[in-house]
Amino acid sequence: METDCIFCKIVKGEIPSTFLYENDNLVVFRDINPHAPVHLLIVPKRHIRSVNDLTEDDAKIVSEMIMTAKMMAEKESVSKSGYKLLFNVEKGGGQVIFHLHLHLIGGWKK
């Protein structure tokens, strides 16, 4: 884990957060600056800086992130109405926190 990484601090419990889901590999919590009624972050516990830093060995964690997002969309009642999954990659792609994370965004009314 990185010493200055806010998501590493959240995973370790150094910064308070309410986990909506947690297992050995991931945590899920609400974005503190939501862009939609439902805006969750799916975050690996192991520090991976960015999509650009993924290796072949990380394929399982990325798959688990997507499957967890699917499960959380069902729990948040947005699976039928629709939602977005988004990875921001590097500053030019909107990445602000340099710890891999997947946004689940949805819940807009028709």
- Residue 35 annotated as catalytic: no
Looking at every residue in the chain, the average pLDDT score rounds to: 96
Using an 8 Å Cβ cutoff, are 15 and 30 in contact?
no
Q: What is the chain's length?
A: 110
Say whether pLDDT at 1 is over 80: no
Single pTM value for the model: 0.94
Report, as an integer, the average pLDDT of 2-20: 92
State how far the alpha carbon of 7 is from the alpha carbons of 16, 39, 56, 76, 107, in Å: 11, 16, 23, 22, 24
Using an 8 Å Cβ cutoff, are 34 and 76 in contact?
no
Given the residues 39, 99, 101, 103, select the one marked as catalytic.
101
6-106, which class in CATH? alpha beta
Best CA proximity match to 19, nearest among 50, 47, 48, 42: 42
Using an 8 Å Cβ cutoff, are 100 and 63 in contact?
no
Read off the pLDDT band of 93 (50, 70, 90).
very high
